[in-house]
């Protein structure tokens, strides 16, 4: 069996400075407010609302960044969608250090994947409540950029 997908949208998030927490047995926790952003696709477009969006990221001892994110999306026609995702960004320590320094690194040089899910009361977009998606990420200056695909 092969896996077929269809692009859902590209999401570009703008991040505020993180709140760094103390190291824990699990790693270095940082809470990153999502200040805004956009999502664009064939079937839905809009903005990331700045209120309520955060990434409770954890940098593990092996250097991998583990993501735990909740966002509120507002479509260009005024509907609201909760997007939640978990994911991981990992790779060679030298590559991760380049990303951490703010350098743009070709996403082929590291592994950056998310598994988003959606929740909405919108009748127009209720189909989002029942799909499975994957996302491929890269890190640009303002924040992460994800190409989200629906698994068909």
Whole-model pTM: value is 0.94
Per-residue confidence (pLDDT) for residue 103, from 0 to 100:
94
Give the whole-number percent of the chain exceeding pLDDT 70.
Answer: 100
Structural domains of the chain, ranges and CATH numbers in brackets: 5-18+25-42+51-56+77-151 (2.40.160.20)
pLDDT tens digits for range 5-61: 999 999 999 999 999 999 999 999 999 999 999 999 999 999 999 987 999 999 999
Beta-sheet pairing, 65-75 with 54-59: antiparallel
Exposed/middle/buried for residue 121 (C-beta within 10 Å: 0-12, 13-18, 19+): exposed
Interstrand relation of 80-90 and 65-75 (parallel, antiparallel or unpaired) = antiparallel
Place of tokens 């999401």: 11
């Amino acid at each position: 069996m092969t896996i077929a997908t269809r692009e859902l949208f590209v999401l570009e998030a703008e991040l505020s400075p993180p709140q760094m927490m103390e190291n824990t047995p699990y790693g270095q926790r940082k809470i990153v407010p999502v200040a805004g952003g956009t999502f664009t696709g064939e079937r839905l477009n809009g903005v990331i609302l700045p209120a309520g969006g955060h990434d409770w990221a954890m940098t593990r001892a092996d250097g991998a960044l583990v993501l735990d994110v909740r966002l509120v999306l507002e479509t260009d026609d005024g509907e609201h969608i909760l997007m939640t995702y978990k994911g991981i960004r990992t790779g060679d320590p030298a590559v991760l250090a380049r990303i951490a320094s703010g350098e743009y690194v070709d996403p082929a040089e590291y592994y950056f994947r998310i598994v988003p899910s959606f929740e909405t009361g919108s009748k127009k977009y209720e189909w989002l409540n029942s799909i499975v998606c994957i996302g491929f990420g890269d890190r640009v200056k303002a924040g992460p950029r994800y190409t989200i695909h629906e698994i068909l």
